Structure 1
Amino acid sequence: MTQKERRQQGLHFDASDPEIIEERMRAQRLINRFNRLDETEQEEAQRILHELLGSIEGKCYFVPPIFMDYGSNIHVGDRSFFNAGFTALDAGEIHIGKNAFIGPNVSIYTPQHPLLTEERNTYYERGLPVTIGDNVWIGGSVTILGGVTIGEGAVIGAGSVVTRDIPARVVAAGNPCRVLRPITDSDRVLELASLSTLHVEHS
């Protein structure tokens, strides 16, 4: 079994393996090109993202700069938006649903290193997956650790550190991130009729 195959199966793998290093270098070449684009070069931006990421359902939008280890372990749903400074260390797979709002300077860290020094110094690590559901809003400067699932429609407050699963349709915040309350119809601030009118005017 190759080190890449071990990584993809969630096993400990050697991050200094030549095939792993080449994959990281490939990602960095694409990321450097993406980070140099300006706002008008959206066609080229989408082309690079499709080459960099594992999969994109439809279209997504990233504000540069971005950073990823491999890119190939990141899967993004349609119409998801990533503000500037998005960082994803994707030794483990990262699945992000449709219509996700990702605030500035959000970081997702999937690698897990051994606790014992002599083991950690071997450069072996493993990646724990992260899943973010449809319609999730992640506030600015949130850190999400490996092994976490965030349920559909959840809102994560700015500056939170998410170390455990967050259920669907709740507001959660803090370090460590905890559920504060459910999201209910009383949180509505826009009239649906007004929204329909706005969509017609801008279509």
Structure 2
Amino acid sequence: MTGRGRGPDGAARARILVEASRLFAARGFHGTSTRDIAAAVGIRQPTLYSHFPSKHAILAALLDADLRPALARVRAALDLDGSPAARLHALLVADVSAILSLPYDVRGFYNDEVLELLELDEQARLREELHDLTTRLIGLGVESGEFLAEDPSFARGAITGLTLQAVSDRGPDPSPDPAHTALRIADFVVRALLADRRRLGPVQKASAALVPAVASAAE
């Protein structure tokens, strides 16, 4: 019988990421050691280092699991045909569903101001690009008159806040119904931004046709 975490390399790596994410959420990045992570997985510390050279590399892999697919989705939303409102709605449905479905405890990803660490400079750059592209999509709606003349950066910040709250509400495990929460957030955001809120129904319909293309961009 093999011990916990001692299967094939891929399974061991996945277990390390899951347990590390839970420890980061519970104790914070700086309050967690590689020894803690190895103990949670049920492996020796040298074995952990055969998969990840450092604690920073573990968090970088966790952040990449969120940020890189999210970037692919927002780029797809910007490239698709359709109104900015429909594309933003589709992006939120796909993006929030994806983050709530991750096998990791996402609550600890962005704590402790970890993205200011030099070792996570690439992940900080990715997050900044993600924010910039999302802001650009909202700005298209403002420019077209479809959205209220609201500051796109403020709206993007509100989206981030709602997403982080959904992550907090989710807890350590994947959501049993991520699409429900994602749709609520998408409806709330787009309804708040629309210059004519009576258009929410048509926007939802157009969004439903775009969601598969946005979601599949990250695959």
Q: Which TM class, normalised by the smaller chain length?
A: under 0.3
> Which one has more relative contact order, counting CA pairs under 8 Å at least 6 apart?
2
TM-score by length of 1: 0.25
The structure with the greater share of residues assigned to strand is: 1
The structure with the greater share of residues assigned to helix is: 2
